Amino acid sequence: MDTIENAMSVPIDMQPTLSSGGPARRAWLDLLQGIRSWRVWWLLGIGDIRQRYRRSRIGQFWITLSIAIFVVAIGVVYSTLFKQPIKDYLPYLATTYVVWVLIAGIVNDSTSAFTQAEGFLRQQALPKTTFILRVLVRNGVSFAHNLVVLPFIFLVFGVAPSWTWFAALFGLVLIAVAGFLGGLVCAILSTRFRDLPQIIQNFTQVAFFVSPVTWQVELLDEPMRYWVNLNPFAAFLRVVSEPLLGRLPDFTTYASAILTIIILCAVALPLFVRFRQRIVYWL
């Protein structure tokens, strides 16, 4: 706890810096200060995980275990329903589901990013973006734990290592950028409208079924595959899962992901500039 408090101590010149200039300049400085305060959001994110699984013998790996059970159980059933060989379907399901847990976790946790940090925001002049980065750290570490499932699945079903795994790192960068921008939008709006988190959680559940998590795009007819490309969740899912399975996503998938980031940037930045100072009053 002392380490977190020391990391969260605000430099003497930060308060006048964050409160000087126009709204756009203050928002930009908030972003820069938030990135520079990496010790704060790193320790907060790690602290959230430790607190959530306090006094648990295997901690975060409870989620890893539950993911493994889900993948095996659903994989056996759905491979029969879809008439897919289990040696092909189970690695696909394991990969897509692990990536989906990361995406859905960022979206859902972002809705409480500022309300969860009410005590900090009311007492210290911390950058607001710190708490969005906190969400990314928390879910990124959980994703790293959940990746433990994949080597076992790949080994059992003969999925060989591939150079395309490096492309998955680029996909994770795209998810992180989109997660930050989308998380900023969700956090601001959810702080102002307290019914919105439930709506977003329900929307995420619907997105799970219309995204290629438990089903493969190749099973769809050609006209329907076009509509999958319009689903931003599907694009971010595929830019990580497909390289892990040894194949590169097509140009349309990357274009959809990058276009989504541009749209999120066009929404998130003006929203943050206008309402950044009101966040504390909404808590």
Q: Which structure tokens are listed for 274? A: 């206008």
* Model pLDDT for residues 52-85, shown as the tens digit of each residue: 777 666 666 677 888 888 888 988 898 888 888 8
Backbone angles phi, psi at 58, to 5 degrees: -110, 0
Predicted confidence at residue 55, as pLDDT, reads: 64
Tokens of 228: 């999958």
H helices present in the chain, as ranges: 2-7, 14-18, 23-36, 38-52, 61-81, 86-110, 113-116, 118-123, 129-146, 149-157, 165-192, 196-210, 222-229, 232-244, 251-275, 279-282
Is 19 or 141 the better-scoring residue by pLDDT?
141
Mean pLDDT, to the nearest integer, of 82-95? 89
Identify the pLDDT of residue 11. Answer: 45
CB-based contact 133:34 (threshold 8 Å)? yes
CA distance 30 to 21: 12
User: Which residue shows structure tokens 């950028």?
Assistant: 177
Q: What is the mean pLDDT of the chain?
A: 86
Q: Angle 165-192/129-146 helices, nearest 10 degrees?
A: 140
pLDDT for the residue numbered 12: 36
Which whole number is the average pLDDT over 190-209?
93
**What's the pLDDT at 145?**
87
pTM of the model: 0.88
